[in-house]
Amino acid sequence: MTTTITLVQGDITGQSADAIVNAANSSLLGGGGVDGAIHRRGGPDILAECRALRASQYGKGLLTGRAVATTAGRLDARWVIHTVGPVYGSSGSDPSLLASCYRESLRVADELGARTVAFPAISTGAYRWPLEDAARIAVETVRTAETSVEEVRFVLFDERAYEAFAAQLR
Ligand code: AR6
């Protein structure tokens, strides 16, 4: 099965997909950027499930590079897959951790049976990962992932991010 990669410029919370990936933080309890937008538009059910995860198997939070799913609330999706990107320039700023976000999110998507997955450009906002490098890692990782996901859609907020991803696909 080959995975088709598509690009869209815009707000990921307006997308229709089986799963929408959230660039979360390890607390799973919300934040700014995509995370804030997803919780705002998706409504309180998402945070309620995140809190339940923290109260059960994720007592210490979600590790960088890992992924976990919740309901998508009022978003036009079945699931939100939360993943935690590495902070650029910190001791944990290992590119393999950024690759792991994409790989683990696709693994969770496979477990759920999701066929279409929308990703933001993980770590390129508050976590400051340089866009070109992040785009290269994202595209390379998805291209080489073993997954049953049929469409991976990168949803880039602005023109610059869109161009960085488009350059990787040319
Ligand atoms: N749709 C698509 N992309 C978006 C949207 C949106 N609605 N909003 C922002 N972006 P960031 P990170 C882009 O900061 O760097 C949060 O507070 C944005 O332009 O959302 O992984 C979390 O709670 C950028 O290109 O995520 C964490 O604490 C990309 O999404 C922390 O930020 C990622 O920016 C995670 O930082």
How do the pLDDT tens digits run along the chain, 170 residues long?
689 999 999 999 999 999 999 999 999 999 999 999 999 999 999 999 999 999 999 999 999 999 999 999 999 999 999 999 999 998 767 999 999 999 999 999 999 999 999 999 999 999 999 999 999 999 999 999 999 999 999 999 999 999 999 999 99
Helices (H), 32-115: 33-42, 44-55, 95-112
Query: What tokens appear for 100 in the block?
Result: 């792991």
130 in contact with ligand 1, CB cutoff 6 A: no
Q: Where are the domains of the chain?
A: 4-169
Q: Taken in order 12, 17, 154, 128, is the CA torsion positive or negative? A: positive
- CA–centroid distance, 7 to ligand 1, in Å, is 17
Helices (H), 3-79: 33-42, 44-55
CB 150 within 8 A of CB 3: yes
> What topology is assigned to 4-169 in CATH?
Leucine Aminopeptidase, subunit E; domain 1 (3.40.220)
Query: How big is the CA angle at 77 (ends 96 and 146), to the nearest 5 degrees?
Result: 35
120 in contact with ligand 1, CB cutoff 6 A: yes
* Residue to probe by mutation, ligand 1, list 11, 15, 34, most atoms within 8 Å of CB: 34
Query: Quick check: is 76 catalytic?
Result: no
Q: What is the distance between the terminal CA atoms of the chain, rounded to a whole angstrom? A: 21
pTM above 0.85, yes or no: yes
Closest residue by Cα to atom 24, ligand 1, is: 125
